[in-house]
Amino acid sequence: MTKKKVLVTGGAGFIGGNFVQYMVHKYPDYEIYNLDLLTYAGDLTKHREIEKNANYHLIQADIADHETILPLFEREQFDFVVHFAAESHVDRSITDPGVFVRTNVLGTQVLLDAAKHVGIEKFVHISTDEVYGELDFNPATFFTEQTPLQPNSPYSASKASSDLLVRSYHETYNLPVNITRCSNNYGPYHFPEKLIPLTISRVLNNEKVPVYGDGKNIRDWLHVYDHCAAIALVLHDGVNGEVYNIGGHNERTNLEVVQTIIKALGKSEELIEFVEDRLGHDKRYAIDPAKLEQLGWEPKYRFESGIEQTIQWYLENKNWWENIISGEYQKYFEQQYKLQR
Ligand code: NAD
Ligand code: TYD
């Protein structure tokens, strides 16, 4: 196997963190560089076990800082870039859109420029199905790679903008890129501001779980391990310039997700509290992953087994999430929700 230098941006976050661990173990001959600014969403304790591996390297830096990124690319001559770093939470984008534009749009452009400057083998841009907007509740409709981009939140608009920049660097400069658009991920190290870890952590603490609106909005859940395998496949075998949708065939209403977790933990549905709906709340996301399946990928996790594994992980790793929810996060939670304890 040829030795490759792989730059993973956002490798201290949820999906990037799982991907870094996947790559360090699966490709011991590759050098994995985790570049992360360590914002509120970045956490390095998850990498304690791989910190000493000779093929793991950490770089604390801001992707939007051209003065740091360009010399770094010149020095390290990466072969692959897998770009996860982003502001990723829709609710935060509704309160403060500016930082989403800086990180997700400008940050992506700075990376693209550096990748073009040194000439890399592949740039994989991790995007989201949210760029397609929303679907109605007709179960026969899905997002395909041809679905027009119609983002509805400042978060998804910033991701769609970055997708268009990535596309333009392929069309204009022939930069070898792929864009992946995945559905909602879940699994180990999911930051507790997102629905599934928020529900698990609050139910375990016998606290109310805020469900937006009537709870009937639908998301298509993808286990993060299935996502990591899909990205590795695109990195090695993706056709330059192509977009690949990644989805787990696991549509559930938010209420079903919350009820499943409450039942698995043996608690009462009285913990559910219906709260004011999210502004511009997309009704339904559902992915048609046929194009990626043709490339040779299929999800291994059904939602039932995946959620069981995830709940077990949160039970066994209380220290990790208790640390997070006891800090700055507490202030965010109090501002975002006005729930009874
Ligand atoms: P996350 O919020 O858990 O992690 C983001 C990481 O990026 C953090 O470690 C943070 O410190 C880092 N970061 C933020 N700003 C940075 C900057 N300026 N420079 C360098 N690093 C910076 O996000 P996630 O859930 O792991 O999502 C990863 C990617 O996948 C994002 O691009 C997101 O849009 C996309 N995505 C996520 C989901 C999901 O369900 N979580 C679904 C679809 C797409
Ligand atoms: P989230 O985990 O924020 O992911 P996304 O907005 O990217 O889909 O939310 C998943 C779904 O859960 C979404 O429809 C909003 C809903 N939700 C709640 O009902 N309550 C909550 O407290 C949160 C965070 C989300």
pLDDT at position 328 is 77
Q: HEC string of the chain?
A: CCCCEEEEECCCCHHHHHHHHHHHHHCCCCEEEEEECCCCCCCCHHHCCCCCCCCEEEEECCCCCHHHHHHHHHHHCCCEEEECCCCCCHHHHHHCCHHHHHHHHHHHHHHHHHHHHHCCCEEEEEEEHHHHCCECCCCCCCECCCCCCCCCCHHHHHHHHHHHHHHHHHHHHCCCEEEEEECCEECCCCCCCCHHHHHHHHHHCCCCEEEECCCCCEEECEEHHHHHHHHHHHHHHCCCCCEEEECCCCEEEHHHHHHHHHHHCCCCHHHEEEECCCCCCCCECCECCHHHHHHCCCCCCCHHHHHHHHHHHHHHCHHHHHHHHHCCHHHHHHHHCCCCC
Q: Which ligand is nearest to the CA of 284?
A: 2
Provide the residue type at 67 as one letter: E
Residue recorded with tokens 């997070």: 324
Q: Whose CA is nearest to atom 23 of ligand 2?
A: 195
pLDDT at position 160 is 98
Pocket test for ligand 2, best of 212, 284, 337 (most atoms within 8 A of CB): 212
pLDDT at position 327 is 76
Both structure tokens of 51: 């910190």
Q: Residues with Cβ within 6 A of ligand 1?
A: 9-10, 12-16, 36-39, 41-42, 62-64, 84-86, 88, 103, 107, 126, 128, 159, 182, 184-185, 191
User: CA-CA distance, 21 to 116, in Å (whole number)?
Assistant: 27
pLDDT at position 3 is 85
Across the chain, which has 341 residues, the per-10-residue mean pLDDT values are 89 98 97 98 96 96 98 98 98 97 98 98 98 97 98 98 98 98 98 96 97 98 98 98 96 98 98 97 98 97 97 97 85 76 43
Nearest to 250 by CA among 274, 277, 218: 218
Q: 6 and 33 in contact (C-beta within 8 Å)? A: yes
Cα 140 to averaged position of ligand 1 atoms, centre (Å)? 30
Q: Which ligand is nearest to the CA of 129?
A: 1
pLDDT at position 326 is 86
Task: Tell which atom from ligand 2 comes closest to the C-alpha of 211.
Answer: 19
User: CA-CA distance, 33 to 20, in Å (whole number)?
Assistant: 8
**Whether residue 282 lies in the annotated active site:** no
Cα 268 to averaged position of ligand 1 atoms, centre (Å)? 33
Q: Which ligand is nearest to the CA of 69?
A: 1
Beta bridge partners, 333, equal none
**Whether residue 33 lies in the annotated active site:** no
Task: Tell which atom from ligand 1 comes closest to the C-alpha of 41.
Answer: 8
**Whether residue 155 lies in the annotated active site:** yes
pLDDT at position 332 is 83
Per the residue annotation, which of 33, 56, 155, 285 is the catalytic one? 155
Per the residue annotation, which of 129, 163, 193, 282 is the catalytic one? 129
Task: Tell which atom from ligand 2 comes closest to the C-alpha of 209.
Answer: 22
Both structure tokens of 35: 């570049």
Helices 195-204 and 254-264: crossing angle, nearest 10°?
30
pLDDT at position 340 is 46
As a residue count, the chain comes to: 341
Cα 247 to averaged position of ligand 2 atoms, centre (Å)? 17
Beta bridge partners, 182, equal 128, 246
**Domains of the chain with bracketed CATH:** 5-185+222-246 (3.40.50.720), 190-219+250-280+303-330 (3.90.25.10)
User: CA-CA distance, 226 to 221, in Å (whole number)?
Assistant: 11
Task: Tell which atom from ligand 1 comes closest to the C-alpha of 89.
Answer: 2
How, if at all, do strands 80-83 and 185-186 pair?
A: unpaired
Q: Whose CA is nearest to atom 22 of ligand 2?
A: 210
Q: Which ligand is nearest to the CA of 281?
A: 2
Taking the mean position of all CA atoms in its chain, how far away is CA 223?
11
pTM greater than the 0.85 cutoff: yes
Cα 85 to averaged position of ligand 1 atoms, centre (Å)? 4
For the Cβ of 210 lying below 6 angstroms from any atom of ligand 2, the answer is yes
Pocket test for ligand 2, best of 91, 194, 203 (most atoms within 8 A of CB): 194
Per the residue annotation, which of 31, 130, 163, 193 is the catalytic one? 130
Cα 118 to averaged position of ligand 2 atoms, centre (Å)? 39
